[in-house]
Amino acid sequence: MTAIAPLHFADPREAAGLAAFLRRLLHYDRAAAVRIQAGGGALAVFGRPPSFEVIAIRTARLVDDTDLDVTVSAGELLEGIEESAGKAVVPDSVTGPPWAGVLPPRGGWRPVTGLPPVAGMRGAVGAAVTEFRTRDEALPEEHRTRAERDRIGREIWSRTLGDTGLPLRAVHAAQSLGFLPDLPDADLPVALYAAGPWLRLRTAYGSVALRTVATAFPVTPGHPAR
């Protein structure tokens, strides 16, 4: 197998950011795989934390115009990152999981209106977590099964954020993966985009995307999300 040349980041901090993203992914799935795409001096790493049913995307700038599209072990990629040197050794490819073949589109993204402030998004996630715990604790012992708890979770996390069509689980995923750090709203611009059946919540720290039913979302003219 031909060795893949190391990735050299334009800023060492981007190597650290990718490493943090991979650690969070591995927290939810120790055997996680990620798909890496690079081209035009840009890198995109895609993962799918199973608890949230979304595709998470971490991007970075590269020094070289590397052309790459490969699926690898998230753990092995993390081991190959040298944060101080700002580079990453790409491991051998693995057989990709089904989701890796159905990624969000590269273009055609248009802004979706109605996204609340970041503080409101965090508040909605916090309220949902509290509701789940309260309802879980109230279950009679004979009903406290995995199936019943999953049913409650699906009901709560499938609720949408206002009129955006974005499920709460996507916001929860963004927060859990470090894409919504505890910063003032003014320092953390967040935007929502739609492309066909896809929605994508984007911040400066990463994005989460998911397929929805083919519904017409309220969009306004704008530039692609990538």
**Domain segments of the chain: what residues?**
7-101, 110-211
Tokens 């894409």 identify what position?
A: 179
Rounded to 5 degrees, what angle do the CA atoms 73, 76, 82 make?
135
Does residue 98 surpass a pLDDT of 80?
Answer: yes
Runs of H (alpha helix) within 95-160: 118-138, 146-157
Mark residue 165 as left, alpha or beta (left: phi above 0; alpha: psi -120 to 50; beta: remaining).
left
Confidence of residue 2 (pLDDT cuts 50, 70, 90): low
Contact 92, 72 (CB under 8 A): yes
Q: What kind of fold does domain 7-101 have according to CATH?
A: DNA Polymerase III; Chain A, domain 2 (3.10.150)
In the predicted model, what is the mean pLDDT of residues 49-61? 94
DSSP code at position 5: P
* pLDDT of 20 strictly over 90: yes
pTM for this predicted structure: 0.88
* 162 CA to centre of own chain: 20
